[in-house]
Each structure stands twice: as structure tokens, then as C-alpha cells.
């Protein structure tokens, strides 16, 4: 099942080029928690049949006529795996990968809707695209084993980890407003299939920069979820980005970035601008991992 957030915190089931509103399945409690998070929390009690029945009773709206939002607009945390493909480790010319580095956090406020605009904040720094598979946590997880981990995954979606190159902390360089495009929707785990056999492709302004398969992850999804749960409690709606393969490259105002993952049934597409870019106030420009040469 494909589940989207759209408009003013509406949730719906996506069929083809239409979405059917199922927002009434969760109470409008005014709790500050998004409907999608509440749907994920309620899923064990509701089940997919109740959601499908609600969708059948709802009139379809054209996807082209609604504004998609990040499928989970308010995760309690976004966890991301650094250097989780060997080819990306090689292109970045670094010795360590995820097994030595652990994970880093991205600010939830960095989320960007499908069709949104990445805003580059500085005109004297390099910013790169990083296309990734992300998993959405479905059930509370604390210290779960790899064998148990996928039972705690609700579904999968696409994520772009937009990154400023330099010597600043990863969480700083990756948490600017608009630096985490997410979507276009969630595909539930029962429909998505094996997360270890996903084709990933990413284009920038028509140039294919990344082409990989998640079978080449150093730590697979189960290992990532297990490790993350050993550090912190994972809650329904939390996002785990699994890492990016080789092919990262610089972005510039006017670019369009497109991410396609097999099994999603739709692309995540955003554009790039630099409307208020100015000089960077930090001095990390000439420090940190060496990225591949600018194209």
C-alpha cells in the first residue's frame, strides 16, 4: 500500500495517478502529532484491510491536483548512516565507514516536501546531492536484534541527504532548512518487498549521477535498525536513511534533482535555488573528506 501526506495534514492511499483521503481513520486531536504518525501507531489495530476499505469509500483526487508533503512530516528523529556503500567510501577517499562511524542525526526541521525547493544558504561552499533509501519505523524498538529488526519497519520511502562539504560536524552540514527531501510517499513493508534488492537511481538536471542497488550496503536495513535501537529508542514514524552510493556531486541554483527507487512506484523530485545565499560564517570549507572533482 502507498500512503501519502498531502495538503493540510491529510493522509491518503495512492492508486495510480490518484489519492484517496483516509484522514478520518485517525482522530483530529489537535495533539501536534501528524495524522501519518498516528496512523502508523494505530496500524496494528487497524490493519491494511480497514485502510483499504476507507480508501474505497473515499472519492479520488488527482495527484497532480494536491500538494504532497513529507510522508512523515514530524518524525521524532532522522537517523542517517554515513559511508554505507564501499564505492562511496572510495570516492570520498576516507578510511572509515558505518561500522566505525555509527550514525548521525539530521534535524527534522530540514524536511522538504516532494516538488519543493532546496535553498542553498551560501555562495562560497559546495553542496552535493545524496540519494538514499529510507525506512520508516512502525513499532517502538529498543535493543532489537537484526533478526527482529524488520518486524519494526512500517515501510520505505525515498530520501535525499543534501550535504554541505567541509570540516563542520555532519549534523551541521546536513541539517539546513530544506536539506532532507522525503517521499513521494511510504510503501508499506508488506508490499515493498526485500529492502536488500532495491535499485537506486539519481539524476541532476538530466544527468544520471547515481546508479546502485541496496544489496551493496555495508550494513543492511536490519543491521541499521538494530544498531540504532541499541543507542536510542525508535518510535513510530522515525526515519532511518540507509546511506548513499557513489556519484555524489555539486548542486547549483537552477538544478532539478530526481530520485527513483524500485518498488516505490513514483519519483522524488525537487529543484534547487539560492535566493538568499551569502558567505558562510564557518571556516570548514577546506577541511573534511575530499569529495570527487566537480563535474
pLDDT at residue 286, rounded to an integer:
82
Cα–Cα distance for residue pair 36/112, rounded to 1 Å: 16
Could you list the mean pLDDT of each consecutive 10-residue stretch along the chain, which spans 295 residues?
97 97 84 93 94 95 98 98 79 70 95 99 97 98 98 98 94 98 98 95 98 94 98 98 95 99 98 98 83 61
The pTM is what? 0.95
Residue 121 corresponds to which cell in the numbers above?
544558504
Cα–Cα distance for residue pair 234/246, rounded to 1 Å: 28
Count of Cβ atoms closer than 10 Å to residue 44 Cβ:
10
**Which pairs count as long-range contacts for 44-53, CB under 8 Å and 24+ apart, including other chains?**
44/139, 48/1, 48/188, 48/190, 50/25, 51/1, 51/3, 51/13, 51/22, 51/25, 52/1, 52/13
Quick one: how far is CA 25 from the chain centroid? 25
pLDDT at residue 27, rounded to an integer:
77
User: For 78-273, CATH number?
Assistant: 3.90.850.10
pLDDT at residue 101, rounded to an integer:
87
Domain spans in the chain, listed from the N-terminal domain onward = 2-69, 78-273
Count of Cβ atoms closer than 10 Å to residue 254 Cβ:
10
Amino acid at each position: 500500500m502507498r500512503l501519502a501526506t498531502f495538503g493540510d495534514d491529510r493522509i491518503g492511499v495512492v492508486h495510480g495517478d490518484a489519492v484517496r483521503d483516509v484522514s478520518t481513520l485517525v482522530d483530529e486531536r489537535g495533539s501536534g502529532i501528524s495524522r501519518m504518525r498516528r496512523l502508523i501507531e494505530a496500524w496494528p489495530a487497524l490493519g491494511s484491510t480497514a485502510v483499504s476499505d476507507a480508501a474505497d469509500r473515499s472519492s479520488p483526487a488527482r495527484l497532480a491536483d494536491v500538494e504532497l508533503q513529507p510522508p512523515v512530516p514530524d518524525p521524532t528523529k532522522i537517523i542517517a548512516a554515513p559511508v554505507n556503500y564501499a564505492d562511496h567510501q572510495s570516492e570520498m577517499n576516507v578510511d572509515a565507514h558505518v561500522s566505525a562511524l555509527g550514525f548521525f542525526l539530521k534535524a527534522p526541521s530540514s524536511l522538504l516536501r516532494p516538488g519543493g525547493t532546496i535553498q542553498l544558504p551560501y555562495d562560497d561552499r559546495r553542496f552535493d546531492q545524496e540519494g538514499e533509501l529510507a525506512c520508516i519505523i512502525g513499532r517502538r524498538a529498543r535493543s532489537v536484534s537484526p533478526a527482529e529488526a524488520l518486524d519494526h519497519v512500517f515501510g520505505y520511502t525515498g530520501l535525499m541527504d543534501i550535504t554541505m562539504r567541509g570540516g563542520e560536524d555532519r549534523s551541521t552540514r546536513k541539517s539546513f532548512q530544506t536539506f532532507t527531501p522525503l517521499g513521494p510517499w511510504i510503501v508499506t513493508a508488506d508490499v515493498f518487498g526485500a529492502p536488500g534488492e532495491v535499485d537506486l537511481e539519481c539524476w541532476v538536471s538530466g544527468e544520471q549521477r547515481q546508479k546502485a542497488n541496496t544489496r551493496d550496503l555495508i550494513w543492511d536495513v536490519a543491521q541499521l535498525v538494530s544498531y540504532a535501537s541499541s543507542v536510542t529508542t525508535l518510535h513510530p514514524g522515525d526515519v532511518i536513511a540507509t546511506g548513499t552510493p557513489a556519484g555524489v556531486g555539486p548542486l547549483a541554483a537552477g538544478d532539478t534533482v530526481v530520485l527513483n527507487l524500485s518498488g516505490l512506484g513514483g519519483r522524488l523530485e525537487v529543484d534547487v535555488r539560492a535566493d538568499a545565499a551569502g558567505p558562510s560564517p564557518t571556516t570548514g570549507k577546506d577541511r573534511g573528506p575530499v569529495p570527487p572533482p566537480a563535474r
